[in-house]
Structure 1
């Protein structure tokens, strides 16, 4: 961020968000209040203290590496499509982002800890 490398910042923020999203768990099992019941003044509200809290999934280092590899591939594929549409600058940005993540995997790929 201090170097103002927007491609690196964008790639790393996106990768961190992807990791954070992968750690999320489905909320299908949360019990909710029905409309018109006396249990909750708000229909569809979660019932009970801490009802909306859920433990996060713990990703293994292999999970993180696989996720980052997917992020790299998505950027490379998108850059090809974007360039075909005539947007060379955006395609180059995507290639730089892919290179940042790829370099990170090359340097730290064996030591990534979830």
Structure 2
């Protein structure tokens, strides 16, 4: 799935989750969309900053994510939740484990 298609799908799913008042899905989708945005951000270093102070805006192009990059990001988010789910189950925190299981299923839909 292309990044543009994925973003569009996530936006549609977010609107639907908001309409249905699904707090878990809304929070997860916002987190996933922010993860993609953050991955596209360009690292700030001295090479990208202007040499003299100015009031002009200096925009730099954002990174282009590949399908593999997106796949890795989603897999990392999935693995993080799977690990936490196991910990919550071991601690007997059923409500949190159930929330994470829902998030795991939602992320799996995008993989």
TM-score by length of 1: 0.69
Aligned equivalent of 2:102, options 74, 77, 96: 96
Answer yes or no: is 1:65 the counterpart of 2:71.
Answer: yes
Show the 5 A alignment for 1:75-86: 75-86=81-92
Residues in 2 aligned to 1:77 and 1:83: alpha-carbon distance in whole angstroms: 10
The structure whose Rg is larger is 1
Partner of 2:36: 19
**Structure 2 residues without counterparts, runs of 5 or longer:** 1-17
How far the C-alpha of 1:78 sits from its partner, in A, is 1.1
Residues in 1 aligned to 2:93 and 2:50: alpha-carbon distance in whole angstroms: 47
Residues in 2 aligned to 1:54 and 1:19: alpha-carbon distance in whole angstroms: 17
Count of residues in Structure 1 that have an aligned counterpart in Structure 2 = 91
Show the 5 A alignment for 1:31-50: 31=50, 47-48=53-54, 49-50=56-57
Residues in 1 aligned to 2:39 and 2:22: alpha-carbon distance in whole angstroms: 26
Residues 75 and 94 in structure 1, CA contact (< 8 A), matched pair in contact too: yes
Aligned equivalent of 1:87, options 86, 90, 93: 93
Residues in 2 aligned to 1:72 and 1:6: alpha-carbon distance in whole angstroms: 18
**Structure 1 residues without counterparts, runs of 5 or longer:** 33-38, 40-46, 106-114
TM-score by length of 2: 0.70
